[in-house]
């Protein structure tokens, strides 16, 4: 069955892309011969990092060379902004290439202005968006960008210990904090909700649905994680600002704050027994580094650059970004995904002066991932390579690298459940197609299934970002957030776990979450299922534009009926939701 589905799914690619892949040709070379080939951008092409904070830095035109195109300082500044927002995610901040090709001046000058202009306008089957024909960029902007790429790129500043210490604010010192919980909130059932475009989080009571507070955080705030004790909430913005929030205070609020770089996506805290709440860690996209901080104050202790060689080619990469970071439950270690070099680092935090790191050769373009139900194995997606990498966090080594049979796996932290035929599995959905893949996670009880894709079946459609279940639930929820079809992107597929059968394509129920939200204007997308602490309700964000009404929809997990719609003018662009207990204990 896996093979049949896989064949059907590949047909989702444009025929041009397929032809190219089968021919094994270089997309760059092909597009050069035929740059005007019609091409439409897929959700996977669009879902690329946008360096929004870097886009704001002031730059100067680097020293002019003979033959440089004419460009004013204002145009160069605008070109830099557009480049960091739209292009750097794939081509790299320094234009040395990542999932996209390098755009250094030796290459761009060889190809010339006309070629660059066409390439930006029409895109390429290999994944370059069709910025012009899609209407995203005007012809004037494309002209500017084609000229911009013929000039040397500006290098954004580093962000080391002096800058970090300057940004560090200890708002309430540990000795001035409460010694016991001072509020009546059921902290374990709080939901920390990302309000992406307002740079805030909302703390919503999971029992009463009441918004307990809205707190200012970093710009385009991204994720929340909870300390091992469940007391502290850590939030990171795309501007690399980390907020540490004390949930014991009468009014939960920020007790410490720091900026750990210019662009960042991940934060985590130490969870090993004996090391609970001792350290926090955050990873940056720019500069490429991670920093270990004191778990009580966020005082920066150790900054480690991730610049280095790509695991297989062993060539130097100047800006390997830090993607997901997880805390090990089996060793005093942080698990750090380094995207472009394809390395997973196990960073031992017991002795920061004599730092020991296990460097695992994994796969390039590591992104997100989570633990299996025993918390021993870390399963993560090398998404642009369609692979899952499995690490044994107890032994500290690579266990397997497995093709998911789908396109661009995007698990979030994934979903763990016991399949009626295959035993314990972990699931991921995909950005590039409608498939859900299950990987066996029980090497003791089901050795023949372990770390193999045991089944793959279809959900609503491509553009899925997150998948979720809970140990108390018999349902597996799969979103389709980035699906181009408005109705699909506003719905969720639900599979009954006990009905799943080997060799049978399972049926699913479609929940019209967007419709249930009753949002009158805009085209909201439904994103990220998250359970309450009891595992009886599942919450979805109905993510609309910044100036339009958004909502959170709560569904009863047993009946699959609508339980509550949470609406409030303060709920601006809600996306991720992090239940304190589930996040603290890695229950998913
Ligand atoms: Fe995320 C997790 C990076 C866009 C919502 N996102 C992650 C992680 C990474 C990442 C590396 C894993 C963190 C960890 O576990 O330590 N995200 C990126 C990007 O680079 C990307 C593609 C583009 C960008 O410029 O940032 C991106 N992410 C988004 C969004 O547009 C989403 C949908 C809405 C938003 O709020 O920004 C989004 N990302 C999330 C969420 C998680 C996440 C909700 C955590 C999921 C979980 O269950 O743990």
Answer whether 382's CB lies under 8 Å from 390's CB.
no
Answer whether 464's CB lies under 8 Å from 479's CB.
yes
What pLDDT does 549 receive?
98
What pLDDT does 16 receive?
32
Cβ(324) – ligand 1 distance below 6 Å: yes
Section 39-46 average pLDDT: 69
Cβ(194) – ligand 1 distance below 6 Å: yes
Question: Per-residue confidence at 40, pLDDT binned at 50, 70, 90?
Answer: low
Q: What are phi and psi of 190, to 5 degrees?
A: -75, 150
Question: Per-residue confidence at 30, pLDDT binned at 50, 70, 90?
Answer: very low
pLDDT at 22 over 50: no
Query: Which of 223, 269, 283 is the pocket-test mutation for ligand 1 (most atoms within 8 Å of CB)?
Result: 223
Mean of per-residue pLDDT scores for the chain = 92
How far is residue 85's CA from residue 100's CA, in Å, rounded to a whole number? Answer: 15
Q: Against a cut of 0.95, is the pTM above it?
A: no
Section 120-139 average pLDDT: 91
**What percentage of the chain reaches a pLDDT higher than 90?**
86
> How far, in Å, is the centroid of ligand 1 from the Cα of 542?
16
How far is residue 235's CA from residue 244's CA, in Å, rounded to a whole number? Answer: 7
Nearest CA to ligand 1 atom 21: 49
Sign of CA dihedral 130, 134, 136, 137: positive
pLDDT at 39 over 70: no
Nearest CA to ligand 1 atom 44: 576
Task: Convert the pLDDT of each residue in 244-280 to its tens digit.
Answer: 999 999 999 999 999 999 999 999 999 999 999 999 9
> How far, in Å, is the centroid of ligand 1 from the Cα of 223?
7
Query: Which of 291, 368, 530 is the pocket-test mutation for ligand 1 (most atoms within 8 Å of CB)?
Result: 368
How far is residue 512's CA from residue 364's CA, in Å, rounded to a whole number? Answer: 36
Question: Per-residue confidence at 67, pLDDT binned at 50, 70, 90?
Answer: confident
Cβ(575) – ligand 1 distance below 6 Å: yes
Cβ(511) – ligand 1 distance below 6 Å: no
Cβ(576) – ligand 1 distance below 6 Å: yes
Query: Which of 222, 290, 412, 577 is the pocket-test mutation for ligand 1 (most atoms within 8 Å of CB)?
Result: 222
Q: What are phi and psi of 390, to 5 degrees?
A: -115, 130
The pairing of strands 435-440 and 475-479 is unpaired
> What's the token pair of residue 51?
């360096």
Nearest CA to ligand 1 atom 41: 576
Which alpha helices (H) appear in 433-522, and where do they start and end? 486-489, 513-517
> How far, in Å, is the centroid of ligand 1 from the Cα of 282?
14
Task: Convert the pLDDT of each residue in 212-237 to its tens digit.
Answer: 999 999 999 999 999 999 999 999 99
User: Which atom from ligand 1 is nearest to the alpha carbon of 576?
Assistant: 44
Query: Residue 164: which of 255, 76, 257 has the closest Cα?
Result: 257
Cβ(465) – ligand 1 distance below 6 Å: yes
What pLDDT does 70 receive?
78
> What's the token pair of residue 348?
């031992």
What pLDDT does 529 receive?
98
> What's the token pair of residue 287?
């500069």
What pLDDT does 445 receive?
97
Nearest CA to ligand 1 atom 23: 49
Three-state secondary structure call for residue 250: coil
Cβ(528) – ligand 1 distance below 6 Å: yes
User: Which atom from ligand 1 is nearest to the alpha carbon of 266?
Assistant: 16
Burial tier of 314 (Cβ tally within 10 Å: 0-12, 13-18, 19+): exposed
Answer whether 431's CB lies under 8 Å from 383's CB.
yes
pLDDT at 33 over 60: no
Nearest CA to ligand 1 atom 47: 412
pLDDT at 5 over 60: no
Task: Convert the pLDDT of each residue in 355-396 to its tens digit.
Answer: 999 999 999 999 999 999 999 999 999 999 999 999 999 999
How far is residue 220's CA from residue 226's CA, in Å, rounded to a whole number? Answer: 19
Nearest CA to ligand 1 atom 37: 222
Task: Convert the pLDDT of each residue in 498-518 to its tens digit.
Answer: 999 999 999 999 999 999 999
Task: Convert the pLDDT of each residue in 547-580 to its tens digit.
Answer: 999 999 999 999 999 999 999 999 999 999 999 9
What pLDDT does 125 receive?
82
**What percentage of the chain reaches a pLDDT higher than 70?**
93
C-beta atoms surrounding 218 within 10 Å: 22
Residues 6+ apart with CB under 8 A from 66: none
Out of 67-76, 99-108, 187-196, 572-581, pick the least confident: 67-76
Section 413-420 average pLDDT: 98
> How far, in Å, is the centroid of ligand 1 from the Cα of 266?
8
Beta strands in 377-452 (DSSP E): 377-382, 387-392, 397-403, 415-419, 423-429, 435-440
Residue scoring higher pLDDT (459 or 1): 459
Task: Convert the pLDDT of each residue in 448-492 to its tens digit.
Answer: 999 999 999 999 999 999 999 999 999 999 999 999 999 999 999
> How far, in Å, is the centroid of ligand 1 from the Cα of 143?
32
Q: Which residues are known to be catalytic?
A: 87, 90-91, 128, 367, 410
Cβ(325) – ligand 1 distance below 6 Å: yes
* Distances from the Cα of 282 to the Cα of 30, 293, 393, 521, angstroms: 40, 8, 19, 37
pLDDT at 533 over 80: yes
pLDDT at 161 over 80: yes
């Amino acid at each position: 069955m896996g093979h049949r589905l896989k064949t059907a799914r590949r047909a989702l690619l444009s025929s041009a892309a397929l032809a190219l892949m089968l021919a094994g040709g270089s997309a760059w070379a092909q597009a050069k011969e035929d740059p005007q080939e019609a091409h439409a951008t897929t959700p996977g092409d669009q879902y690329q990092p946008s360096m929004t904070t870097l886009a704001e830095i002031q730059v100067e035109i680097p020293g002019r060379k003979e033959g440089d195109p004419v460009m004013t300082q204002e145009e160069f500044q605008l070109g830099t902004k557009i480049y960091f927002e739209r292009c750097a995610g794939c081509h790299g901040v320094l234009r040395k290439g990542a999932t996209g090709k390098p755009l250094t001046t030796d290459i761009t000058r060889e190809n010339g202005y006309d070629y660059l202009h066409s390439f930006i306008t029409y895109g390429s089957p290999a994944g370059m968006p069709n910025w012009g024909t899609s209407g995203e960029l005007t012809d004037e902007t494309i002209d500017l960008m084609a000229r911009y790429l013929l000039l040397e790129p500006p290098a954004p500043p580093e962000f080391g210990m002096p800058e970090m210490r300057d940004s560090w604010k200890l708002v309430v010192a540990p000795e001035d904090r409460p010694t016991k919980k001072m509020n009546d909130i059921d902290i374990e059932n709080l939901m920390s909700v990302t309000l992406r475009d307002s740079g805030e989080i909302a703390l919503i009571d999971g029992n009463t649905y009441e918004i307990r507070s809205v707190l200012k955080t970093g710009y385009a705030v991204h994720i929340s994680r909870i300390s091992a004790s469940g007391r502290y909430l850590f939030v990171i913005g795309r501007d690399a600002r980390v907020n540490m929030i004390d949930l014991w205070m009468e009014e939960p609020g920020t007790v410490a704050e720091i900026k750990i770089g210019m662009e960042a996506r991940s934060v985590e805290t130490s969870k090993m027994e004996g090391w609970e709440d001792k350290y926090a860690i955050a990873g940056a996209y720019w500069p490429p580094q991670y920093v270990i901080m004191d778990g009580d104050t966020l005082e920066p202790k150790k900054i480690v650059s991730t610049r280095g060689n790509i695991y297989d080619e062993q060539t130097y990469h100047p800006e390997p970004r830090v993607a997901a970071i997880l805390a090990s439950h089996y060793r005093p270690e942080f698990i750090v995904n380094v995207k472009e070099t394809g390395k997973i680092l196990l960073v031992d935090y017991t002795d920061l002066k004599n730092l020991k790191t296990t460097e695992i050769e994994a796969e390039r373009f590591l992104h997100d991932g989570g633990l299996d139900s025993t918390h021993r194995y870390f399963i993560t997606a090398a998404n642009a390579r369609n692979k899952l990498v499995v690490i044994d966090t107890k032994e500290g080594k690579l266990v397997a690298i497995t093709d998911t049979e789908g396109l661009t796996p995007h698990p979030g932290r994934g979903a763990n459940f016991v399949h009626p035929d295959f035993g314990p599995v972990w699931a991921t959905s995909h950005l590039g197609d409608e498939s859900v893949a299950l990987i066996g996670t029980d090497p003791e009880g089901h050795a023949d299934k372990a770390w193999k894709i045991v089944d793959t079946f279809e959900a609503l459609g491509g553009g899925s970002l997150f998948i979720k279940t809970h140990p108390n639930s018999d349902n597996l929820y799969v979103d389709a957030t980035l699906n181009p079809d408005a109705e699909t992107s506003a719905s969720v597929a639900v599979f009954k776990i006990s009905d799943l059968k080997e060799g049978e394509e399972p049926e699913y129920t479609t929940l019209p979450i967007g419709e249930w939200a009753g949002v009158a204007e805009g085209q909201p997308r439904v994103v990220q299922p998250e359970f309450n602490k009891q595992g009886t309700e599942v919450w979805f964000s109905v993510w609309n534009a910044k100036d339009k009404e958004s909502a959170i929809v709560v569904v009863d997990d047993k009946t699959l009926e609508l339980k509550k719609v949470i609406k409030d003018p303060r709920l601006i662009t809600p996306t991720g939701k992090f239940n304190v207990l589930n996040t603290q204990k890695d229950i998913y």
